[in-house]
Structure 1
Amino acid sequence: MAASLTARAALLDMDGTLVDSTAVVERLWWEWAQPHGLDRDTVLKTVHGRQGWQSMSILLPERDHAINLEENQEMLARESVETSGVVEIPGAAALLRALESLPHAIVTSADVALMTARMGAAQLPIPALAITAERVSRSKPDPEGFLLAATTLGVDAADCVVFEDSGAGIRAGLDAGMTVIGVGPHAPEFGPAHHVDDLSQIEIAPSADGFEVRIS
């Protein structure tokens, strides 16, 4: 449904929003999960949108946190080099170009190395402000990352629009008090204010006080 809203900053998730990395994410996590006898569907519903160590702690709640941190670093290292099949979500490049002179940031559960690798594989520019795993103490669905981005940009949370695909990310944006546009087929079930199939349905138009987001 066509709609429009005004904002002063755009905050964008990466995986599933700007880049399609589903194939490599699900393959590596299923390899990790099999020795633990975990259910595939449960694993794949858990890992999207969260930092790896948090997903591990949810899936293996009795395990030592230090092991989760160590294995998360191993997972990030593998994900950073295994980028075959990582591609742009339709409309991502055009959206980033439209936002180039406007306040915006990536807010991702990936670390800097993984973000750089995946954005590079998808041939997308990286915004000047990137809130990555290294910069927060709490993973999505906690709103810390989005709130830090807003503060760094000098914009009130209520004036930010978030682009997110996962349940954890959408919850983080909503809890931050921001307007959330859900991206992709699974986003509507998590209650975003608006929904698009992909970013080709988004148009940015500068306005006197920020910019207008037009949804087709």
Structure 2
Amino acid sequence: MSASTTASPVVLTAKALLLDMDGTLVNSDAVVERCWREWAVSHGLDPEEALKVVHGRQGHATMAILLPDRPTEVNHAENAVMLARETADTEGVVPVGGAAEFMKAIAGLPHALVTSADAALATTRMTAADLPMPEVRITAESVGASKPDPEGFLRGAAALGVDPADCIVFEDSGAGIAAGRAAGMRVIGIGARAAEHAPTAHVPDLTGIRVTAPGDGSIRLTLAPTP
């Protein structure tokens, strides 16, 4: 069911929320596109085609898709350079609409950050967007496989002590939505990219989500319908 195609609100309940960062809480598209366009051109690739697979994945996983015959160690080495560059570039990094209010609303409720960024990049971007960093966070260093593998979300659920079926994922990318589904979780898609991948429900940004805690250990999410 999509919040954008129904006249009444979508209501979902969960025991924990698992939050992607880029495109979900933080709009970092300007930095991502600058860095990856330059990388693609330097390797003789079409930057527009490259950007179609960048979002949601760790950099080395993106490189493996775009340059499938290249050694894994080369991808990891170049990804380290890419991460350093992205961490140093915060121009244009801003919160997704409604992110600050949403983070205030879930303070004290079970939630975790599950991002393909490493810890340094995640800290830099959350700080640049003036958003609080969740106490529980699963970053690139925490997993052996990048989204769309479900490992990150499963680790997030385990860290919170919640069954995967009782978690709701917030994601913007096709890779992230696929990872959430593979983990057996429902997914709220955020933004235009997410709408293309049939999440459980979809909203343009975080402004249309009302968070309440009924007091029974659950989290109630009401997604306002969009025109």
When the two structures are superposed, what TM-score results if normalisation uses the length of structure 2?
A: 0.94
Show the 5 A alignment for 1:133-212. Answer: 133-207=140-214, 208-212=216-220
How far apart are 1:81 and its partner, in Å? Answer: 1.0
Report the AA paired with residue 146 of structure 2: S
Kindly, what percent of the aligned residue pairs are identical?
57
The structure 2 residue matched to 1:53, chosen from 60, 72, 77, is 60
| Residue identity opposite 2:127 in structure 1 | G
1:78 aligns with 2:85: yes
Match for residue 113 of structure 2?
106
Residue 20 (structure 1) aligned to one of 27, 30, 40: 27
Post-superposition offset of 1:39: 1.5
Q: CA deviation at 1:189?
A: 1.4
Q: Distance in 1 between matches of 2:210 and 2:172?
A: 18
* Offset, 1:209: 3.0
One-letter amino acid matched to 2:19: L
Query: Which residue type is aligned with residue 111 of structure 1?
Result: D
Moved more, 126-135 or 34-43: 34-43
Supply the AA of the counterpart residue of 1:57: A
For the residue of structure 2 that corresponds to 1:158, the secondary structure is: helix
Q: In the alignment, which of 98, 109, 117 is matched to residue 124 of structure 2?
A: 117
Residue 36 of structure 1, CA deviation? 1.6
The aligned amino acid for 1:125 is P
Q: Aligned partners of 2:66, 2:37: CA distance in 1, in Å?
A: 12
Q: Which runs of 5+ in 2 are unaligned?
A: 4-8
- Secondary structure at 1:74's aligned position in 2? helix
Unaligned runs of 5+ in 1: none
Q: TM-score, normalised by structure 1?
A: 0.98
1:12-31 residue CA offsets vs partner (Å, 9 max, x unmatched): 00000000000110110010
CA distance in 1, matches of 2:117, 2:176: 13
| Displacement after TM superposition at 1:204 (Å) | 0.6
CA deviation vs aligned residue, 1:60-104 (integer Å, no higher than 9, x gap): 001111111111000000111100110000111111111111100
* CA shift digits 1:160-209 (9 cap, x unpaired): 01100000000000111111000001212111000000000111100223
Paired residue secondary structure (1:203): strand
Tell me the SS of whatever aligns to 1:182. Answer: strand
Alpha-carbon distance in structure 2 between the residues aligned to 1:121 and 1:51: 20
Cα distance in 2 for partners of 1:37, 1:194 equals 38
Please report how far the alpha carbon of residue 35 of structure 1 lies from its aligned counterpart in structure 2 after TM superposition. 2.0
- Partners in 2 of 1:160 and 1:136 — Cα distance? 19
Letter matched to residue 172 of structure 1: A
Do residues 132 (structure 1) and 132 (structure 2) align?
Answer: no
Q: Please give the root-mean-square deviation of Cα atoms over the aligned residues, in Å.
A: 0.7
d(CA) in 2 for partners of 1:193, 1:204: 17
CA distance in structure 2 between the partners assigned to 1:14 and 1:82 by the alignment: 16
Moved beyond 3 Å, runs of 4+: none
- Alignment size in residue pairs: 216
